[in-house]
Amino acid sequence: MATATSHQSIVSFASHRSSSSSSSTISQCLLREPLLNLPISKGFKIHSSLSCNNHTTSKKRNLCKIKAVASSQTETSVSSYNNNTFLSPSKNIPDLSKKKSNEAALILIRHGESLWNEKNLFTGCVDVPLTEKGVEEAIEAGKRISNIPVDVIFTSSLIRAQMTAMLAMIQHRRKKVPIILHDESEQAKTWSQVFSDETKNQSIPVIPAWQLNERMYGELQGLNKQETAERYGKEQVHEWRRSYDIPPPKGESLEMCAERAVAYFQDNIEPKLAAGKNVMIAAHGNSLRSIIMYLDKLTCQEVISLELSTGIPLLYIFKEGKFMKRGSPVGPTEAGVYAYTKSLAQYRQKLEEDSEVICS
């Protein structure tokens, strides 16, 4: 696999240049991901060198900018440096405690099809599970992030998001074990205690939070979308669904949903990222849009028209207090989702059109 080789080259390249070879930074892990499946091309070399020039600080951060793969020439020469002393994909246990960077990955996954999506019913906070299709979407999402490090997982308190996270993590290559934390009572806390430090180190805490739940749809929950339109009128329903601050009866507006979701993010998730922990959030359309609104500083207008794909994870890098988007929310084609740069996306799209082969 050309991609695999090129990744190893980048990684070896990194070890050669960086001062601390044993630690693994997000950048190294990110570079290992075969998300793009891009073959080598000259164009990327140019891009990577431009990025390198921008950096004056840690060498490790430089690596983050070398998104693109080196050209085939570099590949063969660098690959000779690749020996067993460096991380190979099979020894995927980077020692995160040595990580000195302020960089952290943030993965957002929107759950896939639920049984009420299938029946066209307003779901909101009713705890409806995934369909078979939704299960597959979760597994597919997991494959895409299988090489991105995950240290802690946040989910909503709804099973469809939790299942999505757990199914996605089955695909994860690092093989740390997600463990759902229980603090609903003293007994729950005591009973779920782990008595081995080694095991704890090999665990990824999973924290369920109602603040990440889907927007609560009040009196529309359980109603058929068509019937609701007949009962309240299409325009009224459209307004509830698409306005920013008008809630359905006894429900939440997007504004209200954003308020509790973003507050939770700022209080509980951002500090983790600031501490260098890589985070995955498995949640819902509206709670994730709210968070993206905060991450990307969107206007109310922009967030209303934001559509998140299901099954296609979004990637952000948190660095020096800033969030940098690495994957676009609306991907008309698969390539669009991992548009690290526009030219990369276009290049990939072209490849797919030419070959008519679906990248797995």
Partner 1 sequence: MATTTISHQAIGSIVSHNRPFKASLFLKEPLNVPMKLSPKRFKIEATASQVIDNTVLSPSKNKPFESKKRSNEAALILIRHGESLWNEKNLFTGCVDVPLTQKGVGEAIEAGKKISNIPVDLIFTSSLIRAQMTAMLAMTQHRRKKVPIILHNESVKAKTWSHVFSEETRKQSIPVIAAWQLNERMYGELQGLNKKETAERYGTEQVHEWRRSYEIPPPKGESLEMCAERAVAYFEDNIKPELASGNNVMIAAHGNSLRSIIMYLDDLTSQEVTSLDLSTGIPLLYIFRDGKFMKRGSPVGPTEAGVYAYTKRLAQYREKLDEASLN
> Pick from 345, 356, 350: which is nearest to 36 by CA?
345
* C-alpha distances in Å from residue 313, one per residue of 50, 172, 327, 330: 28, 13, 8, 11
- 228: tokens are 């609701």
Helix (H, G, I), strand (E, B) or coil at 197: helix
- Would residue 214 show up in a list of annotated catalytic residues for this protein? yes
State the Cα torsion 341-319-210-154 to the nearest 10°: 80
If the CB atoms of residues 84 and 196 are measured against partner 1, the closer one turns out to be 196
User: Cα–Cα distance between 189 and 194 in angstroms, integer?
Assistant: 10
The owner of tokens 């969030």 is 323
For the bound state, the minimum distance from the C-beta of residue 227 to partner 1, rounded and expressed in Å, comes to 8
Q: Token pair of 182, please?
A: 């229980």
Least CB distance to partner 1 at residue 278 (A): 19
**Rounded Cα–Cα distance for residues 2 and 11 (Å):** 14
Instruction: Report the alpha-carbon distance of residue 245 to residue 122 in Å, rounded.
Output: 18
C-beta of 17 vs 119, nearer to partner 1: 119
Q: How far is the CB of 144 from partner 1 (least distance, A)?
A: 16
Structure tokens at 47: 């891009």
Residue 320 is a catalytic residue: no
Question: How near is the Cβ of 158 to partner 1 at its closest, in Å?
Answer: 8
With respect to partner 1, which residue has the nearer C-beta, 159 or 351? Answer: 159
Task: Give me the DSSP letters along 87-99.
Answer: --TT-----GGG-
Least separation in angstroms between CB 177 and partner 1: 5
User: What's the CA gap between 121 and 114, in Å, rounded?
Assistant: 10
Residue position matching structure tokens 């590949």: 75
Closest CA to 72 of 42, 49, 50, 48: 42
Q: Which two tokens stand for residue 98?
A: 């040595």
Minimum CB separation of residue 45 from partner 1 in Å reads: 39
The active-site residue, picked from 7, 47, 111, 172, is 111
CB-nearer residue toward partner 1: 25 or 114: 114
Residue 267 Cβ vs partner 1, minimum distance, rounded to whole Å: 18
Q: How far is CA 353 from CA 41, 124, 298, 347, 359, in A?
A: 17, 39, 33, 10, 11
Spatial CA neighbour of 81 closest among 18, 16, 5, 30: 16
The residue ranges that bind partner 1 (CB under 8 A) are 115-116, 119, 121, 124-132, 135, 157-159, 162-163, 166-167, 169-170, 177-182, 184, 187-188, 191-196, 199-200, 206, 210, 213, 216, 218-224
Question: Given 137, 140, 214, 270, which residue is catalytic?
Answer: 214
**Residue number with CB closer to partner 1 (249 or 271):** 249
| Residue 261 or 317 with smaller CB distance to partner 1 | 261
Considering beta carbons, is residue 39 or 129 the nearer one to partner 1? Answer: 129
- Which active-site residues does the annotation give? 111, 214
